[in-house]
Amino acid sequence: MSNRPDLPPEIARRRTFAIISHPDAGKTTLTEKFLLFGGAIQMAGQVRAKGEARRTRSDFMKLEQDRGISVSASAMSFDFRQYRFNLVDTPGHSDFSEDTYRTLTAVDAAIMVIDGAKGVESQTRKLFEVCRLRDLPILTFCNKMDRESRDTFEIIDEIQENLAIDVAPASWPIGMGRDFLGCYDILHDRLELMDRADRNRVAESIKISGLDDPKLAEYVPPAQLEKLREELEMARELLPAFDRQSFLEGHMTPIWFGSAINSFGVKELMDGIGEYGPEPQIQKSAERGVAPEETKVTGFVFKVQANMDPKHRDRVAFVRLASGHFERGMKLLHVRSGKPMAVSNPVLFLAADRELAEEAWAGDIIGIPNHGQLRIGDALTEGEKLRFTGIPSFAPELLQSVRATDPMKGKHLEKALMQFAEEGAAKVFKPSIGSGFIVGVVGALQFDVLASRIEIEYGIPVRFESSQFTSARWVLGPKDTVEKLANANKQHISTDHDGDIVFLTRLQWDIDRVVRDYPGVTLSATKEMM
């Protein structure tokens, strides 16, 4: 079913989405089951690392390392029924980062996973707010119903109140914890029973003709059946019915209950994404909205990942195709530099393996190996000078200075830092006075991640130290005024990796002063990356 019957079928069958959740809610387990049902892996759950250590990098990498499955970081594609799913990874660590925000600019929908015992947790709320800024449609999966969970109405109420969104039950749990039997599929009048004997198997669904069907009593014990009937009646009175339009506009989320580890509820959720969508959406550019069915190929870089293969210093730019039908070898215009670029070895992240992409359609994510020409926010087109918008760069909230413990390695450190800045892993500022660097991040954990990556990937042990600055602002305005400001405030001035001027300070007072003294100049906490 598509909202857009006019779309070419190859585009209409694509679903590009991300999973948002609080750590431990079950995102990795759910991803793994998606891959299992998408035919990409044969067996789920081989080896698992524990705790924060496994969350410092991409969850997909974690899957790859821990479980010996061949997946490539950041994006994965697989087929399920008639649909092509493109699942884009959101970084797993608990510090909110720009990376996450940018990932969400590349998808058309998100699945929100919550733990049935914990409800809406802090990280879920933050990520939800980001989705809301973009009016992304959200499907909710309430996980771990095989454990003692909260009352179903309580969970739904909490989501409605906490996130201010209508919640429509797509399924309804029968029992919980040890007594969890399965769910009643409200949208299709089916009974779905959980198979506890085999975690990777899904029991068959049983077609039921409504709640009065005597067949129900064959499967559900009397006390649970009575409770189910009561609850569903109440739900019909108190909760809104699923409305596809309202879902697509981001005002309503359908909720499925299940147990990812038992593979239960996962197929229903996948069917939900397939059936209700959305298909690839119009992407915004400064010039116009770009529709997926346009015949000319366009796309934008939303992520750059360096050193995916430690033996080769390659970088892969992840491109979301916004329109058209891409074929390998195509020459595209790299809009920022104005130069043509032959895309001869693009990678499609088919979950079974990383493969050369012979073709791809609007909605797909392709990886383009390159030596640093492609940056976050860059547009590729067949000639039109488009600038895709909405990929912001935030002012970091934490600043530290960094130095190599071996001073001989200073030059190499600069190279490593620039690379991470281009990847979007951190902000790097070169102060106009002195020789060091200031690194800015959004969450404290990122300093640890960076230190370990610089050591592992470049062999440079580094030390982060507190810096005299606490705020960074991009200086925007007429060129001559900006120059005047920079000359008069040298001790505050630095440049970022693009060469743009950034004002560093520890006092709000300084910011207010500059704004007052230099009319026409703004000190901005974000910069659009394009």
Residues marked as binding for GTP?
A: 21-28, 89-93, 143-146
Write the Ramachandran bin of 428: left for phi over 0, alpha for psi from -120 to 50, otherwise beta.
beta
Site for ligand G4P in 127-156 (CB under 6 A): 143-144, 146-147
Q: Does 48 bind ligand G4P (CB under 6 A)?
A: yes
Pick the closer one to ligand G4P by CB: 20 or 156.
20
Rounded CA separation 320/337 (Å): 19
Number of residues that bind ligand G4P (CB under 6 A): 18
The correct pick among 7, 20, 21, 267 for binding ligand G4P (CB under 6 A) is: 21
259 binds ligand G4P (CB under 6 A): yes
| Residue 14 binds ligand G4P, judged by CB under 6 A | no
Q: Which of 24, 64, 79, 294 binds ligand G4P (CB under 6 A)?
A: 24
**What angle in degrees, to the nearest 10, is found between the helix axes of 27-37 and 59-67?**
70
CA 382 vs CA 289, 290, 518: distances in Å: 16, 13, 41
When the beta carbons of 139 and 261 are compared against ligand G4P, the nearer one is 261
Identity of the residue, 22 or 334, whose beta carbon is nearer to ligand G4P in the bound complex: 22
Q: Least distance in Å: CB of 488 to ligand G4P?
A: 49
Residues 2, 465: Cα–Cα separation, whole Å: 54
Tell whether residue 436 is a contact of ligand G4P (CB under 6 A): no
Give bridge partners of residue 16 from the DSSP assignment: 86
**Shortest CB 265 distance to ligand G4P, Å:** 9
* Residue number, 85 or 420, with CB nearest to ligand G4P: 85
Query: In sequence order, what are the beta bridge partners of 261?
Result: none
Cα distance between residue 413 and residue 473, in whole Å: 24
Quote the Cα angle for 280-281-287, to 5°.
130
95 binds ligand G4P (CB under 6 A): no
- Of positions 127, 163, 174, 261, contacts ligand G4P by CB under 6 A: 261
The yes or no reply on residue 290 touching ligand G4P (CB under 6 A) is no
Pairwise CA distance, residues 25 & 144, whole Å: 8
- Residue 130 and residue 113: Cα distance in Å, rounded? 15
CB of 49 to ligand G4P, least distance (A): 9
Cα gap 196→395, rounded to integer Å: 49
Name the residue nearer to ligand G4P (CB basis): 48 or 513: 48
CA distance 316 to 344: 13
* Among candidate residues 494, 454, 500, 460, the one with its CA nearest the CA of residue 477: 500
Among 15, 17, 20, 29, binds ligand G4P (CB under 6 A): 29
Amino acid 339 reads K
Q: Does 75 bind ligand G4P (CB under 6 A)?
A: no
Nearest approach, Cβ of residue 73 and ligand G4P (Å): 15
Interface with ligand G4P, residue 314, by CB under 6 A: no
Give the single-character DSSP code of 366.
Answer: E
124 binding ligand G4P? (CB under 6 A): no
SS (H, E, C) 330-342: CEEEECCCCEEEE
List the one residue out of 208, 20, 209 whose CA is nearest residue 114: 20
Residue numbers in the known binding site are: 21-28, 89-93, 143-146
If binding is defined by CB under 6 A, does position 281 make contact with ligand G4P?
no
**Interface positions with ligand G4P (CB under 6 A):** 21, 23-29, 48, 59, 143-144, 146-147, 259-262
